A and B are shown apart, each in its own frame.
Chain A
Amino acid sequence: MSLQSQDILRRSASPTQPPIAREHKAEVAKLIDVTTCIGCKACQVACSEWNDLRDEIGSNVGVYDNPADLTAESWTVMRYSEVEQNGKLEWLIRKDGCMHCADPGCLKACPSPGAIIQYANGIVDFQSEHCIGCGYCISGCPFNVPRINQKDNKAYKCTLCSDRVSVGQEPACVKTCPTGAIRFGSKEDMKEYAQERVDELKTRGYANAGLYDPQGVGGTHVMYVLHHADQPELYHGLKKDPQISPVVSLWKGILKPLSTIGLAASLLFGFFHYIGVGPNKAEDDDEEDKV
């Protein structure tokens, strides 16, 4: 029997509660302080190194972003945005990747039991052997994160180094960050630390500095400290109020009970109509039966 964590908060496409005996685990969070990030991409390298990923070497597309987008084998990428704020050029650099939502759209959309799980500590993890490659997780994600690998038709994304975290280590990107811009700890501690950073930024003139922990998805287990928390869009289109699309909520929500009622009604109608009225025979069918 395989090792089991027995702290599974949620499991995709599973109507009953998965093993949760060890639910006492504290919620964890990765805090990315965008204001102290220098864009060195050490985190990208550390991610690929620890997770043993070898994405294709791409080509320079004229900007610093490289690779140009998340892929099934690049689970985190630096996003560089040149914006003008208060008459000055600002170079905003954001480490993009899975946000590990408390209310994960990918998990909600996934049709395969156990292909996506959420641990008690908040990490949302893909269990690739159960993935069927349908891409529903992509439609569920409000942050455009999961990517399907063309080699095996499985979806991949940041695991928040669930393997490292489970043995008391921080994620690889946190470990490697040379400026300490990425921190890891309990969500409570990270929020406290973020507050210190925000207070300091405010004294330095960033009046709108703040923590990005969007409540539309129940909060996230990857959070940002932003200089311009009032305009997250500045950071390569980071959504101001990300939510699971209402279309996905309809599909995975009300449509199910409605269709159950509809299908059950049509079946029950047929059954009881037959019991009540009996077969509809043309007159001389009986004679024909005798022949």
Chain B
Amino acid sequence: MSKEKLISRYNAAERINHWIVAVCFVLLAISGLAFFYPAFFWLTGVFGTPQLARIIHPFVGVLMFLGFFRQFFRYWHHNLFNKEDIKWMLSVKQVLSGHEVGDTGKYNGGQKGMFWLMTGCLLVLICTGVIIWRPYFAYYFPIELIRVALLLHAWSALMLIAGIVVHVYAAIWVRGTIRAMVEGVVTHAWAKKHHPRWYREVTGDKHKP
């Protein structure tokens, strides 16, 4: 198959942006789970020592937030829900069996839901993260607020991790998707099957199947 038949989905800047956020997420999830689950405390070793993990985790968190912030402004307008997304979500069982539903644009209902879940979690994580950040900021907040922030930080982090598990699995399951974020391109067949409306937009194909 010739190179011309491939469709560009993510440019280099978008891909680099995504992978910076992704690497930050992995480091944060590993060290964060270490702080949360006593039996996995040894995972603090991802940053060398437990003390270093405590020190570095929040800085990586800020980097992830900034990276995600940039992504948010790249993609938010592609992630507003419409009727087709409702149709997609109501037929999610059929989608999971491999049969696409609805005239999906750049993102389907599930991806849009994931986008807003990530956005919500990131906002909660950055706000609560600053409140519980020792030794720099925690001193400025009352203890009751710090307690609530600790709970919300853990809770939203766990939601995000569960969400990312789904995000990663979806990318693995739907063949050709990882290539979109690594090489930046997808095949016509991929685009036609999974994102028909987006396919018509980028190819100028007016024929609606």
Chain A residues engaging chain B, CB cutoff 8 angstroms? 12-15, 111-113, 130, 132-136, 138-139, 144, 148, 150, 153, 245, 247-248, 250-251, 255-256, 259, 262-263, 266-267, 269-270, 273-274, 277-285, 287-288, 291
Beyond A259-B158, A277-B97, A282-B187, whether A135 also contacts B138 by CB under 8 A is yes
Which residues from B are CB-within-8-Å of A291?
A: 1
B41 in contact (CB, < 8 A): yes
Q: Is the CB of A285 within 8 A of B38?
A: no
- Nearest Cβ on chain A to B33's Cβ, whole angstroms: 9
B13 in contact (CB, < 8 A): no
17 A-B contact pairs sorted by A residue (CB < 8 Å): A15-B39, A111-B36, A111-B38, A132-B53, A133-B135, A139-B143, A139-B147, A144-B143, A153-B51, A270-B165, A270-B172, A274-B173, A277-B96, A281-B175, A282-B190, A282-B192, A284-B189
The 8 Å CB contact of B176, one of A139, A144, A285, is: A285
Q: Is the CB of A247 within 8 A of B165?
A: no
Would you list the 10 A-B pairs with minimal beta carbon distance, nearest first?
Answer: A13-B38, A270-B169, A282-B189, A259-B158, A266-B165, A251-B151, A247-B147, A132-B54, A282-B193, A284-B189
Beyond A150-B135, A282-B190, whether A273 also contacts B35 by CB under 8 A is no
Beyond A148-B134, A263-B162, A270-B165, whether A113 also contacts B41 by CB under 8 A is yes
Which residues from A are CB-within-8-Å of B172?
A: 270, 274
Q: Is the CB of A285 within 8 A of B173?
A: no
Interface residues in B39-64 (C-beta closer than 8 Å to A)? 39, 41, 44, 50-51, 53-55
Q: Is the CB of A251 within 8 A of B35?
A: no
Q: Is the CB of B194 within 8 A of A282?
A: yes
Chain B residues with a Cβ closer than 8 Å to the other chain, count: 48
B154 in contact (CB, < 8 A): yes
Residue of B nearest to A150 (CB): B135
Beyond A255-B151, A256-B37, A287-B1, whether A282 also contacts B175 by CB under 8 A is yes
Which residues from A are CB-within-8-Å of B51?
A: 132-133, 153
Chain B residues engaging chain A, CB cutoff 8 angstroms? 1, 34-39, 41, 44, 50-51, 53-55, 96-98, 132, 134-135, 138, 143-144, 146-148, 150-151, 154-155, 158, 161-162, 165-166, 169, 172-176, 187-190, 192-194
Complex CA gap A159/B155 in Å reads: 33
Q: Is the CB of A279 within 8 A of B173?
A: yes
Which residues from B are CB-within-8-Å of A135?
A: 132, 134, 138, 146
Q: Is the CB of A280 within 8 A of B98?
A: yes
Q: Is the CB of A153 within 8 A of B36?
A: no
Complex CA gap A285/B143 in Å reads: 56
Q: Is the CB of A111 within 8 A of B35?
A: yes
Residue of B nearest to A149 (CB): B135
Beyond A132-B54, A245-B147, A282-B192, whether A267 also contacts B165 by CB under 8 A is yes
Q: Is the CB of B187 within 8 A of A288?
A: yes
Complex CA gap A138/B44 in Å reads: 21
The 8 Å CB contact of B161, one of A153, A255, A263, A270, is: A263
The 8 Å CB contact of A113, one of B38, B158, B174, B176, is: B38
Q: Is the CB of B41 within 8 A of A285?
A: no
Q: Is the CB of B165 within 8 A of A279?
A: no
Which residues from B are CB-within-8-Å of A134?
A: 35, 54, 134
Given contact pairs A247-B150, A285-B187, A288-B1, enumerate 16 new A-B contacts (beta carbons under 8 Å). A111-B41, A112-B41, A112-B50, A132-B50, A133-B135, A135-B132, A139-B143, A148-B134, A148-B135, A153-B51, A251-B151, A255-B151, A256-B36, A259-B36, A274-B173, A277-B96
